[in-house]
Amino acid sequence: MSPFQPLRLPNGGEVPNRIAKAAMEENLADADQAPSAELLRLYQAWAEGGVGLIISGNVMIDRRAMTGPGGVVLEDERQLARFREWARIGRSAGAQFWLQLNHPGRQVQANLGQGALAPSVVPLEMGRFSKLFAVPREMSDADIAEVIERFVRAAVLAEQAGFSGVQIHAAHGYLLSQFLSPLSNRRRDCWGGTLENRARLLLEVVRAVRAKVSPDFCVGVKLNSADFQRGGFDASDARQVIGWLNAESVDLVELSGGSYEAPAMQGDARDGRTLAREAYFLEFAREMRDGARMPLMVTGGIRRLAVAEQVLDSGLDMVGIGTALALEPGLVEHWRAGHDAQPQLRPIRWRSKPLAALAYMALVKLQLRRLGDSRRPDPQASPLRALLLEQWRTQRRTRQYRRWMDGQSGA
């Protein structure tokens, strides 16, 4: 199938082609944790690049729960004008633009000073890097109810701002994914134990969001095809969750995989399996196809037109591309013009896999910052230099974030 064919969504909306800019964490918020000028320029580049669907990087539903100190926060109307401008830019060339809504749960850096919530008191296991993350507190029923309401509030605000939809992040080891996994969810109440109980929070969030937004406003879900950790959320679990999502008026499910502990989204499994160098999760996504009544999208390592076509020919509906669009935001237009562009970063073969994963993320963020500064990406940048620069930037942004939070007391 040609990736340039439109896709009709369950709610009646249409995506102009089958290629999506998948979410990448930019950490380009301004001093008020709102969309910055750099972030708007970055999305202008993607809007002009020809993708059919743009999915934002993490938009946090709670200023106290951040995946990084430079994250964008949407929890009230104070910065709605900036979000309106962001939505206008993202949709300016005809693409749909969805905000990815997220809560990090236990995947919160300790030096942000806000603590962490999780289904159970199970800290991250990342070797010597574990101490960088806060030890979580087990969520109460009140905490869970508040999280549901925050997802709803952010979705309603996103619609008011002019976005086409939202994507609820239930992958990559963040909060909703933590509830799904028996490794991180050891509760014995109605939110833990059986898969039905572990999926309850995701389903409640989707149901509550769908009830409060307009029928033509899109609601998508990002779901792990597997955690890629022994004993974790696996492909059979994902199939069952998709079956439950069929009844919740979901417009698109994006399949990815992994977490901070097992960064399979970068091609690195932790359960002994070897992932393909491109289309990491295609095999798993094919297994989900027959049980899904909504469109499915697969993301992970795709950078060539031939692979995008292979994904669509396998019966999936959309192709999600991340890093390749950070390196060449006009990739889709190049493909449409017949050019066989296939951008990629230089490989990182360090002995420490956690450190290599951090360096990879730093390289991607370097490309995003360059685009936000109206400069060309640099695929040959040094991973070590990018990592050191990212650590310096993170320290600076952490201090800025903590000052901002001190000023938010009582707000």
Cα gap 247→196, rounded to integer Å: 14
pLDDT category at 273 given cuts 50, 70, 90 is very low
Q: Report the pLDDT value the prediction gives residue 257, as an integer from 0 to 100.
A: 73
pLDDT digits (tens, 9 = 90+) for 331-389: 999 999 999 888 988 888 898 877 888 899 999 999 999 999 999 999 999 999 999 99
- Burial of 297-336, coded b for 16+ CB within 10 Å and e otherwise, reads bbbbbbbbbebbbbbbeeebbbbbbbbbbbbbbbbbebbb
pLDDT at 67 over 90: yes
Helix/strand number for the chain, H first, E second? 13, 13
Q: Based on the number of CB atoms within 10 Å of its own CB, is 112 exposed (0-12), middle (13-18) or buried (19 or more)? A: buried
Percent above pLDDT 90 for the chain: 75
Q: Which residue has the tokens 């990629």?
A: 344
Beta-carbon count within 10 A of 356 CB = 19
Q: Report the pLDDT value the prediction gives residue 285, as an integer from 0 to 100.
A: 77
pLDDT at 265 over 80: no
Q: Which range has the worst mean pLDDT, 36-45, 53-62, 215-224, 353-362?
A: 353-362
* Cα distances (angstroms) measured from residue 154 to each of 80, 167, 293: 11, 11, 26
Cα gap 82→36, rounded to integer Å: 8
Nearest to 98 by CA among 46, 38, 63, 30: 46
pLDDT category at 410 given cuts 50, 70, 90 is low
Domains of the chain, start order = 7-346 (3.20.20.70)
Contact 179, 190 (CB under 8 A): no
pLDDT digits (tens, 9 = 90+) for 147-169: 999 999 999 999 999 999 999 99
The two structure tokens encoding residue 115 = 């603590």
Report H helices in 91-219.
141-161, 175-180, 195-198, 200-212
The two structure tokens encoding residue 19 = 């290629």
**14-15 vs 53-60, strand pairing mode:** unpaired
Residues whose CB is less than 8 angstroms from the CB of residue 93 and which lie 6 or more positions away in sequence, other chains included: 47, 48, 50
Q: What 3-state class would DSSP assign to 138?
A: strand
Q: Report the pLDDT value the prediction gives residue 234, as an integer from 0 to 100.
A: 86
Contact 118, 73 (CB under 8 A): no
